[in-house]
Amino acid sequence: MKVEVLTSAFDPWAQLQAYQRSVVDVVQGYGATAVFVGTMRDYNEGREVSQMHLEHYPGMTEKQIEKILAEAALHWDLVDVLVLHRVGDLHPSEPIVLVAVWSAHRAEAFEASRFVMEKLKSEAPFWKKEVHASGQHWVEKNTPGYRRDED
């Protein structure tokens, strides 16, 4: 499993392809890969957003994301997981996050991918400042996290 916080723009599809080639021995025999790419929107809460600045606490952020992946592995049988998350200045349509989950079965890959993404949004220590026509402000709340239905 790999977690990386990036300070510059990245191509999620090239990163995914390169990672999968680098771990071919690990991900042999997988049946499914679920991939989520999040990009910056040009609006939030009814306001046009021209830029966003994402901050994080180096070391703590990666550790928290690794905890999220460990939690996912308790619920689903995962072959591997890749999480890349951008920080710094971003513009609309630029990729912010890549979550890729490899598993033997599609249901586990889909469910684990959504779980990881929702936990990132609600628990990972990232701080967002949005820039819009009337100024800038720090985003005060995250999207509510994903709740897994227990059997």
pLDDT given for residue 44 in this prediction: 83
Under CATH, what is the fold of the domain 2-134?
Aldehyde Oxidoreductase; domain 3 (3.90.1170)
Per-residue pLDDT of the chain (151 residues; tens, 9 = 90+): 999 999 999 999 999 999 998 987 766 778 899 999 999 999 888 889 999 999 999 999 999 999 999 999 999 999 999 999 999 999 999 999 999 999 999 999 999 999 999 999 989 999 999 999 888 989 887 655 555 555 4
Tokens representing residue 99 in the block: 């979550």
Domain definitions of the chain by residue range: 2-134
What are the tokens at 39? 């990009």
CA 69 to chain centre: 11
pTM of the model as a whole: 0.90
Residue 148 backbone dihedrals phi, psi, to 5 degrees: -85, 125
